Structure 1
């Protein structure tokens, strides 16, 4: 329940592109949340990975590593916590958080980089834009409309939770924005900004966990980093001789807490000073209202730099990036040049495409929707050893 004047209030929602009767027991954003959770794209997140690719024989495969689904659940939990503390609408914050990664292709950011290069001649690829395409067109379960028919506020949050969108738009975003102006030049609602910061909190926290589990670095190395070193020192003082796994968990949960508390404190101070009286005032501000303090932001940059070098560009991970990029670089042109290799529904759509650009976008929708293991199995089918 939102209480602050600058929160998004259900009764003020701009509604849906296809009008529907109001639910008697759910707010518009509770309905949006539920539709996302029940979507096919959301279920597929359980087999899409962040850093470590899921497949048989992978040295880093394990039940404890995060997937897009577990990451999304963690982001939603953080978003509800922060939104609740600030008097924002927790349902809208959760909705944007649950949808924020729907457009990610297989193989994490490596897959996105590969598809962006492949789609460069055909209007580009961006996972936020693809998420919009999924919730407005590709989910086809309802009798009266394609997509999930989400509210304007949910679509706005998906489109620009990371900030205003300017310059040349990826075609999928341009298409949605042409149908319903999302005011891309403004900030998103405070609730969507919360979802964006919650994403940062969640992945910085869990990538430290996953990198340790994968033995890409050690607790001793992490102890040299800002915030993390203080957290380990505090645990050692309070719990000397603690078992290694408990020590790790206790330290990293403190790092998690520092990030969440910092965001809440900064937002409370800024909101108290600026006194916005509506959600639109939040959108029209010069910059985001929800953010880390400058000192913590600099510390997080140092942590991210460490993770980039030691985890995202670790030799074993780089080798995997090369392998999975090759999978997409082989599959995409094959489907584009020979649509008969696609499943029937996708084949028909590709064959009926007006030109190569439209055909490429059909192929993109199919490939981007794949899970890691399905993409690997398709590559084995198409290119038998």
Structure 2
């Protein structure tokens, strides 16, 4: 890996300069970025964070998100959210809020689109299962895997591995990180060791992620008939907005009730987040990105009252949707698939495709068994739901010879 060098600033056209001129003084600015790991010429007519966004969209890992579970396994229905549609919804919400706060929209979008690139098949069940398998070898964290995808596993460019993203994009992708992992990752994870904050753009992408998944899980839960509107009316945030819809429109269809209520909830959360975050920035006297990083807690946040209501909604979804017996049964089956694949590949790496087998041999020569396990985890984490199911069948069904 080359010594970190700052990218050549964009030159020749005005759009990136105009974008930067409109930013708040505490926003991330690609002209003052810590740059890329490997030197490249300027992005020309694009901002550096636009270039990051474009590289993420054109990556293989991003395309695979179309067939990775959000809550419902991909083959259960065509209309349920996947990791791909979720990421697009997060980016849309993040850009809206960023514009109101005069933050860098392109950085918000890049982080939003990339935050799940390292997620396993089968959603959180797959992640938990792969972490269990990897415990003897350092564990598995999907945020760290997302960073690994953009830093090392994408293989498209002649001059470097990965996508060579800007520091702030990479930092924002690493939303959570254990201290043990942070010590291994170096500068990009230093904030987890020094209790410093990431950019406001990354904080915003994190909140947009929360807004998106809570509300589309309501939508998918109702669509799948695992939740009912009567159940959801136990939740203050839902009941208040559902009452608004009924009072205004009367007895409209359940589909219309669902949509009209959810869009009002999203609007309330977005509006509150903007207003409360603006006030927090003023009250804290924030005038620079360094001021942001030095704060003990994130500045992009909901008001206390709405935060409490949002937490109530999350508790409801955890109890009534994520632990629903139909979802639970699929999670158990998904974990069996992940455990079966890992056990097979860790004991005989030749069962993986030749390129992964070669990588496992190479990394094992350097890091021992942990190196082989890391390549096995890379292979499994990169699978889509249906590929993992099919690979498991190929390995364990004696009727499948290839």
Partner Cα distance (1:168, 1:294) in 2: 32
RMSD (Å) for aligned C-alpha atoms: 1.3
Who is 2:49 aligned against?
29
1:141 equivalent among 145, 149, 156? 156
- Residue 96 in structure 1 maps to residue 111 in structure 2: yes
- Residue 49 in structure 1 maps to residue 59 in structure 2: no
CA apart distance, 1:308: 0.9
> CA contact under 8 A between 1:339 and 1:350: conserved in structure 2?
yes
- Residue 361 in structure 1 maps to residue 374 in structure 2: yes
Structure 1, residues 26-51: CA drift from partner, whole Å, max 9, x if none? 11100001000000000000000111
CA apart distance, 1:307: 0.8
Q: Secondary structure at the match of 1:119?
A: helix
Who is 1:378 aligned against?
391
Gaps of 5+ in 1: 56-60
Question: Which TM-score applies when normalising by structure 1?
Answer: 0.94
Structure 1, residues 108-150: CA drift from partner, whole Å, max 9, x if none? 0000000111001101110000001000000010000000000
Q: Secondary structure at the match of 1:227?
A: helix
Partner Cα distance (1:14, 1:176) in 2: 16
- Residue 255 in structure 1 maps to residue 275 in structure 2: no
Q: Secondary structure at the match of 1:168?
A: helix
Structure 1, residues 46-103: CA drift from partner, whole Å, max 9, x if none? 0001111123xxxxx1111000000000000011011110010001111111111111
Q: Secondary structure at the match of 2:180?
A: coil
- Residue 177 in structure 1 maps to residue 186 in structure 2: yes
Who is 1:238 aligned against?
248
Partner Cα distance (2:373, 2:48) in 1: 35
CA apart distance, 1:183: 3.6
CA apart distance, 1:181: 6.2
Partner Cα distance (2:199, 2:292) in 1: 6
CA apart distance, 1:373: 0.2
> CA contact under 8 A between 1:155 and 1:182: conserved in structure 2?
no
CA apart distance, 1:283: 1.0
Who is 2:3 aligned against?
none
Question: Which TM-score applies when normalising by structure 2?
Answer: 0.90
- Residue 224 in structure 1 maps to residue 234 in structure 2: yes
The total of aligned residue pairs comes to 373
> CA contact under 8 A between 1:132 and 1:176: conserved in structure 2?
no
> CA contact under 8 A between 2:337 and 2:392: conserved in structure 1?
yes
> CA contact under 8 A between 2:126 and 2:335: conserved in structure 1?
yes
Partner Cα distance (2:212, 2:61) in 1: 21
Write the mapping of 1:113-152 to structure 2, written as runs, cut at 5 A. 113-152=128-167
Partner Cα distance (2:99, 2:144) in 1: 28
1:289 equivalent among 293, 299, 321? 299
> CA contact under 8 A between 2:94 and 2:204: conserved in structure 1?
yes
Who is 1:58 aligned against?
none
Q: Could you list the runs of 4 or more consecutive aligned residues of structure 1 that deviate by over 4 angstroms after TM superposition?
A: none
